[in-house]
């Protein structure tokens, strides 16, 4: 009897450990009242933002710039936020209407699950919803096997994509993000992955779905998103939750307000409440304290009102260059409201040039600065080609001058 009791205790402990290691977010629910409570408690001062999560970032999608960060370049485990990259690889390498037969390995994958069984049949499309809404590790393995042939083959595709995105501190081993020492990213690079993923309309639609119906063996099943902020906080339209013992609570959030979109990443929160609270703080801080400045308008105004009369082109057929700015890649930039008044636009250029001048030759730059910090810069170019004078041109000029002198009796 004593041996049976001991064995029972061991089994219970093992089961609980398994839950701790593999749990995701379906076991905890934060409703609108909880979100409102967190929101009210997350009012942040204008000049300072403090969070409890170990790493975080606010990334602006319009300008591709970092508004705020904490340990954003430190390598960390990212749990099920891994599935953002999993989705990218699947969407770019598979047909959504294809039907997948679930393997025993996929069906037996631990942790958060879509709850699919061996030999179940389900489309790639529905597996993606199960992956991103329910955070199904079984769905992740099923997709990995279908697209990459195996978990290892799929991880190769994930790492190839990471290389294409020029990610230097990211490495994938699995499609679901269960703990591994060689499976990691940073808050910054996870924001870059998310920014890329959101350019895919299908991905953006999936992560912005609160509830949907999928079909397993042609039997409909309703699933709900684990993202506690989706539908509860103004402007939130995705992206992914995560939890493992090593990564702790993680959340990647996309929020759009007034046509501007930011990505907030929180990694290493001790509890779901802290994760939620920190994410709300980041979102509200960004939209309350930053405004978008029209760089294009400021730079064009400065350029058009500037006099370039002191430019001299030696030995050129023409002496008046046609100047223009190169195309601006960024038209708007988020600036802290308290610092907007300190923005300055400056112009630098070569005043003496030697012909010949090639078309679109760079002669200077126009910069936007905030104090000593360079916010944006673009080149000033000469639009027209200006050939160098030859002997015949010199003779023509002499004859023109001579005719002028005769005409004016000089």
Q: Catalytic residue, from 80, 112, 254, 279: name it.
A: 80
**Prior bond to 356 cis, omega within 30?**
yes
Q: Is the predicted pLDDT of residue 397 greater than 70, yes or no?
A: no
Is 401 part of a structural domain of the chain? Answer: no
Does 274 map to a domain?
yes
Q: Are residues 15 and 95 in the same domain?
A: yes
CA–CA separation, 336 vs 167, rounded Å?
28
Q: Tell me what the mean pLDDT of segment 222-227 comes to.
A: 96
210 is catalytic: no
Average pLDDT of 322-329? 91
pLDDT tens track for 276-295: 999 999 999 999 999 999 98
Flag whether 155 is in a domain: yes
The predicted pLDDT at position 313 comes to 87
Instruction: Output 319 or 129, whichever has higher pLDDT.
Output: 129
The answer to whether residues 16 and 143 belong to one domain is yes
Q: What is the mean pLDDT of residues 47-54?
A: 89
User: Final residue of a domain: which of 290, 320, 344?
Assistant: 290
Q: What is the pLDDT of residues 130-179, one digit of tens each?
A: 999 999 999 999 999 999 999 999 999 999 999 999 999 999 999 999 99
CATH number at residue 72: 3.40.710.10
Q: What is the pLDDT of residue 20?
A: 36
b/e sequence 299-314, b meaning 16+ C-beta within 10 Å: beebbeeeeeeebebe
Give yes or no for a contact between 191 and 263, defined as CB atoms under 8 angstroms apart: yes
**Buried b / exposed e along 336-348 (16+ C-beta atoms within 10 A):** eeeeeeebebeee
For residues 259 and 316, state if they share a domain: no
**Domain count across the chain:** 2
Comparing 91-95, 105-109, 403-407, the range with the smallest average pLDDT is 403-407
Catalytic residue among 42, 63, 135, 279: 135
Q: Is 53 a catalytic residue?
A: no
Question: Is 83 a residue of the active site?
Answer: yes
68 and 139 both lie in a single domain: yes
Q: Of 290, 322, 354, which residue sits at a domain end?
A: 290
- Its domain, for residue 364, covers 306-391
Q: Which of 70, 83, 161, 272 is catalytic?
A: 83
Q: Of 238, 256, 290, which residue constitutes the final position of a domain?
A: 290
Within a domain: 358: yes
* Mean pLDDT confidence for 389-404: 60
Percent of the chain with pLDDT over 70: 83
Can you give the pTM of this predicted structure?
Answer: 0.84
Give 174-219 pLDDT, tens digit per residue.
999 999 999 999 999 999 999 999 999 999 999 999 999 999 999 9
The predicted pLDDT at position 14 comes to 44
């Amino acid at each position: 009897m004593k041996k049976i009791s001991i064995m029972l205790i061991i089994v219970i402990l093992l089961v609980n450990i398994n839950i701790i290691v593999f749990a995701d977010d379906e076991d905890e629910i934060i409703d609108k009242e909880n979100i409102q409570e967190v929101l009210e408690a997350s009012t942040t001062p204008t000049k300072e933002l403090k969070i409890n999560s170990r790493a975080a970032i606010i990334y602006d999608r319009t300008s591709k710039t970092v508004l705020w960060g904490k340990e954003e370049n430190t390598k960390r485990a990212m749990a099920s936020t891994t599935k953002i990259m999993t989705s990218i690889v699947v969407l770019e390498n598979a047909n959504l209407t294809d039907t997948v037969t679930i393997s025993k390995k996929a069906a037996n994958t631990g942790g958060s699950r879509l709850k699919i069984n061996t030999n179940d049949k389900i489309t790639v499309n529905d597996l993606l919803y199960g992956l991103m809404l329910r955070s199904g590790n079984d769905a992740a393995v099923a997709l990995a096997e279908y697209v990459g042939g195996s978990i290892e083959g799929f991880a190769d595709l994930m790492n190839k994509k990471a290389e294409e995105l020029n990610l230097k501190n990211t490495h994938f081993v699995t499609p679901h993000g269960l703990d591994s020492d060689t499976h990691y990213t940073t808050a910054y690079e996870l924001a870059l992955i998310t920014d890329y993923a959101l350019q895919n309309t299908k991905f953006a639609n999936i992560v912005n779905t609160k509830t949907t119906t999928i079909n397993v063996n042609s039997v409909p099943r309703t699933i709900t998103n684990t993202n506690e902020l989706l539908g509860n906080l103004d402007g939130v339209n995705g992206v992914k939750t995560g939890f493992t013992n090593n990564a702790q609570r993680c959340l990647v959030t996309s929020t759009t307000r007034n046509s501007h979109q930011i990505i907030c990443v929180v990694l290493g929160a001790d509890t779901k409440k802290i994760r939620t609270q920190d994410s709300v703080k980041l979102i509200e801080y960004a939209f309350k304290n930053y405004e978008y400045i029209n760089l294009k308008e400021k730079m064009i105004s400065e350029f058009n009102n500037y006099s370039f009369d002191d430019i001299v082109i030696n030995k050129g057929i023409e002496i008046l260059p046609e100047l223009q700015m190169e195309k601006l890649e960024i038209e708007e930039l988020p600036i802290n409201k308290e610092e907007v008044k300190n923005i300055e636009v400056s112009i630098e250029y070569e005043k003496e040039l030697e012909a010949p001048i090639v078309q679109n030759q760079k002669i200077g730059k126009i910069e936007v600065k905030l104090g000593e910090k360079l916010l944006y810069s673009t080149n000033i170019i000469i639009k027209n080609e200006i050939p160098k004078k030859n002997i015949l041109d010199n003779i023509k000029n002499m004859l023109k001058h001579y005719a002028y002198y005769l005409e004016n009796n000089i």
